[in-house]
Copies of this chain bind each other. A is one copy, B any other.
Amino acid sequence: MKRAIVLLSGGLDSATTLAIAKDRGFQCHALTVDYGQRHHAELDAAARVARALQASEHRVVPIDLTVFGGSALTDKTIDVPLAPSAGIPPTYVPARNTIMLSLALAWAETLSSQDIFIGANAVDYSGYPDCRPEYIAAYEKLANLATKAAVEGRTLSIHAPLIALSKAEIIHRGAALGVDFTETVSCYQASDDDGLACGQCDSCRLRRAGFAAAGLPDPTRYR
């Protein structure tokens, strides 16, 4: 059984990605990066999702990105915007996906895995540069120069199965694969204690609109 590393934040997209990787027959090693995000509710969600979808293993690796800051998610003095804005929003975390994929790459190599899954999406998203297909393609090219495994001919693939799907399509796909979305937390500023969502941030808006467009009840617990 082939092993895959699956980046798992605890949100709707990464949960669906894990379900897809499992459905494709991979033995899934879920990786959550505790980068100093505003709340721990999504880390708890990641653990629940990994268990519910029977990942072979779930590791949480801490890397404190608040030392660099520069984002509403890693600097509490920057507010999470509660209305849509033009351009890349302040919730963008500098180099976040690049750092998370790099950690996934390290783990992939030590596990002799040639497959990394990431729930990046470039349709119903916040406009982050490191979610675009050309970014994923460039990362795959890099990965295939970066490692001993690649030099020895073990090609690595970066799978972003959600990249071209709408949020409604992601929800349908996840539901069909048995993802329980009540377990997931997408909110940028969920409550630490009970994981309740704010219902107003970009991530909450995209998620809520996704359930509406999918014609499914929104199971999100709002505060």
Contacts and interface: CB of A to CB of B under 8 A. Distances in A.
Given A135-B145, A138-B138, A138-B145, A95 B109 contact: yes
A170 B95 CA distance: 31
As for how many copies of this chain the complex holds, the number is: 2
A110 interface: yes
A98 B107 CA distance: 13
Interface stretch (A8-16, A67-75, A175-183, A198-206): A67-75
Nearest to A128: B148
A106 B102 contact: no
A130 interface: yes
A70 B147 CA distance: 12
A48 to B, nearest CB: 21
A8 to B, nearest CB: 16
Contact of A95 (B62, B130, B141, B146): B146
Contact of A65 (B93, B106, B128, B148): B106
Contacts of A145: 129-130, 132, 134-135, 138
Contacts of A96: 106
Q: In this complex, which of A97, A148, A150 has the most chain B Cβ atoms within 10 angstroms of its Cβ?
A: A148
B68 A110 contact: yes
Q: In this complex, which of A110, A128, A130 has the most chain B Cβ atoms within 10 angstroms of its Cβ?
A: A110
- By secondary structure, the A interface counts as helix
Contact of A148 (B63, B92, B103, B141): B92
Interface residues of A, number: 43
A142 B138 contact: yes
Contacts of A128: 148
Contacts of A67: 59, 61
20 contacts: A62-B64, A63-B103, A69-B110, A70-B109, A70-B110, A88-B151, A93-B106, A94-B105, A94-B107, A94-B147, A97-B146, A98-B105, A98-B106, A99-B103, A129-B150, A130-B145, A134-B145, A138-B141, A138-B146, A139-B142
Closest 9 CB pairs of A and B: A70-B110, A95-B106, A94-B109, A95-B105, A99-B102, A138-B142, A94-B106, A98-B102, A135-B145
